[in-house]
Structure 1
Amino acid sequence: MKLYVFNPDTDMAMANNEENYMAPASARRMAQDLAILPIWYAQPGSAVLAPSAYNADFLQRMKNVFSLSVQLVTEPELPDYADSQIMPWGWNPAFRKRMLKGGIAVRKLLTTDDLSEYRGLSSRVHTIFLCLIFDVHKVDYVCGKHRLVEGNGKEVFSDVVAKGFGGSYVFKSIWSGSGKGLRWCRRGLTKATADWCKRELNEHGAIIVEPIYDKVGDFAMEFYSDGQGKILFTGYSRFITNEQGAYHGNILISDVEVEQWLRQYVPLQAVVNIRECLQKGLETIYGESYTGPLGVDMMVCRQEGEHPYAIHPHVEVNVRMTMGIVAHQLYKNFVTPDSEGFFSIDYYSSNEALRTQHEQDTKDYPLIVENGRVSSGYLALTPITPQSRYRAYMRI
């Protein structure tokens, strides 16, 4: 049996790389509030690890409305599922220790050597390798470059990192994701950012620096690596970020509609060429070293030159489950065809504020379900409890 676990702190835990890592309180709250989220993307006949309080009743209600063949497993029950195939949001040493301590058989978990290799595969450094592959194959309608800054953190010179970037650039941590670990320099390098860079260089030995592009919109290509050398394309996702690059939510539309959106800016054949080149690059890096889902974030950008628009095809590679894959599965399995909507994770400063918004959305957008699929309305994808600060929802 496959046992799914939502551990959204995995990027931070991977950066820390210690088995005794403890996530910040906000990340622990998110993991608690949204523990049952995997029911929406788990394979039929599998299980999801979550507390029974509130989640058991919520799951039963969802089963009464949707075609869900998933069961709930609580932490004390883990020894009964010792031989399950563990399907986390992402792997890291602290998660491995948690599963081992909970009763999962050691043979069902990644080894420490596996985790070390996985950490290397999760590094943003690989975006540089992908960039080189696109340069070698001379793929048209492509933009995007990354530069690796290495050293011991003694000095970071703005004239060095900004060279060729027009004085407007962004620094990225080696290990982070979902718009985190970014420092934006729109008017040169500030002392606060220089100090941040020094800390990153001292801790991890390197950072990434990139130009700030004239972005039109965000999207991603989602893949699955079979661990045998093949990278399979599973679909697109369109998403929205804030000005700091942090994830805000996904637009729920079909793959065909994503391609129609892209065709406003570049020919469809260019999108196909980019996807095929990317698959070859991913197979080289991840094909035989990683088994599981991965998503590649991209941007449509305005540019000067022969083509007014281009695609940045390797903004970020997420070697784990992604919100884009969740959104793709939601639309594919639980939304009526030709409908569209929005999927998001919201945080509220108080439970009262969350409950007020939830009740208002329930009233303003009444849910209509036809043959197990949402045709319109608001649906909370996790229970809203007296302790909740986070909610996952879709509105069609």
Structure 2
Amino acid sequence: MKLYVFNPDTDMALANNEENYMAPASVRRMAQDLALLPVWYAQPGSAVLAPSAYNADYLQKMKQLFPLSIQLVTEPELPDYADSQVVPWGWNSSFRKRMLKGGILERRLPALSDLVEYRKLASRCFTIVLYGLFEFNEPIACTCGYHRLIEGTGPISGKVVKGFEDNYVLKALWSGSGKGLCWGHGAFTKATTAWCNRELERHGGLLAEPAYNKVEDFAMEFYSDGRGRLLFTGYSRFTTDTKGRYRGNILVSDAEVEQWLQEYVPLESVVRIRERLQKGLESFYKGCYTGPVGIDMMVCRLDGETPYAIHPHVELNLRMTMGMVAHQLYDNFVASGSRGVFNVDSYPSAEALQAQHEQDMKGYPLVVEDGKIVSGYLSLVPVTPQSKYRAYVRVEVC
């Protein structure tokens, strides 16, 4: 049996790199509130690890509306599922220790040496490899993108952004969802210098990149079978704020994403980008990683004869992503002829979330036909008197 676990602190745990890492209280709250999220992407016949309070009742209600064949497993029950295949949001050494301590057999978990290699592949510096796939091979029309890896222990100087000083972004090696970023314009400030020196001291490196004139965000989603094949599973369209932080997904078909991309670049360029990533990355994951691979991209506006280009290697996520969740939600639970949004948001208090939840249920009444959402609002996890986070979809007929 596969046992799915939502552990959203995985990027932070990789950065910390300690078996005894403990996430901040806000992230632990998120993990508890959204524990049941894997129900919507888990394979039929699997289980999801979540507290039984509230979640059991919610899951039963969802089974009455949708074709879900997922069971709930609580932490005290882990020894009864000791031989399960654990499928986390993402791997790290502290999560491995948690599962081992909970009762999962060690042979069902990755070895610590495997996680050392995985951590390297999950680092942002691996985008240098992606950059190399495009920079040192036959050019693909309508592409852009540049990364510069800065290594050492500091101190650092503004020379690291020489050539793109007007607007740039500095990136920590381990973080995700638009976090771990430091934006700059012109000369380094004291705050920027201090941020860089901290990252160099902690992790021995960081990335420096020009800040592109972004128009749109999207991603290509893949699956590594661990035997040398990287399978394309679809696209995801998402939105971010001005600082690059994730703000939600648009629920549309792959065909609609390709049609939308052709407003900016030829479809041939999109296909060639996809094929190059597949061929170029397969050897890296053979024998060392089985699971989802999400590659974030941007449509950028350029000055010159080509007005738009795709930046095909903004970020690589060697874990489950909200974009993959959104893609599976659309394919499996949204009716043909409908589209919508998927989002995860937080509130300063449980009362504020409860009020918004009730308002959305009244304002967007849920309509489900034949196990698929035709229109309306649905929280994908129970909203409890303690919840401060929710994941939800809002769907409408096109």
Q: Report deviation, 1:305.
A: 2.6
Preserved contact between residue 114 and residue 288 of structure 2 (Cα < 8 Å) = no
Q: Report deviation, 1:373.
A: 0.4
Gaps (5+ residues) in structure 2?
A: none
The answer on 1:147 being equivalent to 2:148 is: yes
Q: Deviations over 1:161-219 (max 9, x none)?
A: 22121421000001111111000103432211110110100111100010000001000
Would the alpha carbon gap of residues 67 and 94 (structure 1) be closer, same or farther in structure 2, given more than 3 Å must change? same
| Distance in structure 2 (CA, Å) of the matches to 1:287 and 1:196 | 35
Partner of residue 17, structure 2: 17
Partner of residue 338, structure 2: 339
The answer to which of 36-45 and 118-127 deviates more is 118-127
Q: Report deviation, 1:278.
A: 1.1
| Distance in structure 2 (CA, Å) of the matches to 1:32 and 1:209 | 35
Partner of residue 282, structure 1: 281
Letter in 2 for 1:6: F
TM-score (norm 1): 0.98
Preserved contact between residue 165 and residue 186 of structure 2 (Cα < 8 Å) = no
Partner of residue 240, structure 2: 241
| Distance in structure 1 (CA, Å) of the matches to 2:241 and 2:281 | 28
The answer to which of 286-295 and 344-353 deviates more is 286-295
| Distance in structure 2 (CA, Å) of the matches to 1:322 and 1:113 | 24
Letter in 1 for 2:338: S
The answer on 1:117 being equivalent to 2:117 is: yes
Matches within 5 A, 1:354-365: 354-365=353-364
Q: Report deviation, 1:119.
A: 0.4
Q: Deviations over 1:212-268 (max 9, x none)?
A: 000010000000000111000000000011111111100000001101110000001
| Distance in structure 2 (CA, Å) of the matches to 1:302 and 1:287 | 36
| Distance in structure 2 (CA, Å) of the matches to 1:139 and 1:75 | 49
* 3-state secondary structure, aligned to 1:306: coil
| Distance in structure 2 (CA, Å) of the matches to 1:292 and 1:104 | 19
| Distance in structure 2 (CA, Å) of the matches to 1:17 and 1:124 | 15
| Distance in structure 2 (CA, Å) of the matches to 1:90 and 1:186 | 34
Partner of residue 128, structure 1: 128
Q: CA RMSD in A?
A: 0.9
| Distance in structure 2 (CA, Å) of the matches to 1:18 and 1:345 | 28
* 3-state secondary structure, aligned to 2:338: coil
Partner of residue 352, structure 2: 353
Matches within 5 A, 1:233-382: 233-382=232-381
Percent sequence identity over aligned pairs = 68
Partner of residue 391, structure 2: 392
The answer to which of 206-215 and 277-286 deviates more is 277-286
* 3-state secondary structure, aligned to 2:313: strand
Q: Report deviation, 1:306.
A: 3.0
Preserved contact between residue 165 and residue 187 of structure 2 (Cα < 8 Å) = no
Q: Report deviation, 1:367.
A: 0.4
Partner of residue 3, structure 2: 3
| Distance in structure 2 (CA, Å) of the matches to 1:209 and 1:310 | 20
Partner of residue 99, structure 2: 99
Letter in 1 for 2:149: L
Partner of residue 61, structure 2: 61
Preserved contact between residue 300 and residue 310 of structure 1 (Cα < 8 Å) = yes
Preserved contact between residue 66 and residue 371 of structure 2 (Cα < 8 Å) = yes
* 3-state secondary structure, aligned to 1:51: coil
| Distance in structure 2 (CA, Å) of the matches to 1:341 and 1:202 | 44
Letter in 2 for 1:336: A
| Distance in structure 2 (CA, Å) of the matches to 1:152 and 1:174 | 14
Partner of residue 28, structure 2: 28
Letter in 1 for 2:46: S
Q: Deviations over 1:63-91 (max 9, x none)?
A: 00000010000000000000000000001
Query: Which contiguous aligned blocks of 4+ residues in structure 1 show a shift greater than 6 angstroms?
Result: none
Preserved contact between residue 162 and residue 168 of structure 1 (Cα < 8 Å) = no
Partner of residue 382, structure 2: 383
Partner of residue 50, structure 1: 50
Q: Deviations over 1:2-57 (max 9, x none)?
A: 00000000000011010100000010000000000000000000000000000000
| Distance in structure 1 (CA, Å) of the matches to 2:346 and 2:160 | 35
| Distance in structure 2 (CA, Å) of the matches to 1:188 and 1:2 | 51
How many matched pairs?
Answer: 394
| Distance in structure 2 (CA, Å) of the matches to 1:89 and 1:245 | 21
The answer on 1:78 being equivalent to 2:72 is: no
Preserved contact between residue 168 and residue 188 of structure 1 (Cα < 8 Å) = no
Partner of residue 88, structure 1: 88
| Distance in structure 1 (CA, Å) of the matches to 2:198 and 2:285 | 29
